[in-house]
Amino acid sequence: MTVVALLLCALLLAWANGSNDNFKATATLYGSGTVTYRQALTLATAAQATGSLGSVLLAGSLLKAFSGKGLVPAAVVGDPTFLIAVGFGAATTVLLASRFGVPISTTHALIGGLVGAGLALAPADLAWGALGGKYFLPLAVSPLLALGAAATLYPLARALRRRLGWHEQTCICVAGQTEAVVPLPGGGLALQRSGRALTVDEASACERRYGGDVVGVSAQSVVDSLHVGSGFALGFARGLNDTPKVLALLVAAGWSGLDPRVSLAVVALAMAGGGIVLSRRIAETLGHRITSMNRGQGLVANVIASTLVIGASLLGSPVSTTHVSTGAIFGIGMHTGSADWRVIGGIVGAWVLTLPVAAALAAGVAIAL
With cut-offs at 50, 70 and 90, classify the pLDDT of residue 204: very low
Q: What single DSSP character describes residue 169? A: E
Q: How far is CA 135 from CA 69, 231, 242, 326, 332, in A?
A: 12, 26, 14, 19, 27
pLDDT tens, residue by residue, 98-146: 999 999 988 889 889 988 998 898 887 776 666 665 666 766 787 888 8
- For residue range 66-88, list pLDDT tens digits in order: 445 556 666 677 788 888 999 99
**CA distance readout (Å), 2 to 60, 198, 291:** 26, 67, 46
pLDDT at residue 335 greater than cutoff 80: yes
For residue 230, pLDDT over 60 is answered with yes
* Predicted TM-score (pTM) above 0.75: yes
| Model pLDDT for residues 276-318, shown as the tens digit of each residue | 999 999 999 999 999 988 888 899 998 898 888 777 767 766 6
Whether residue 52 has pLDDT greater than 50: yes
pLDDT at 38 over 50: yes
Alpha-carbon span 106 to 51, nearest angstrom: 16
Domain-wise residue ranges, the chain: 2-161+220-368, 167-211
DSSP percent split of the chain into helix, strand, coil, nearest 5: 70, 10, 20
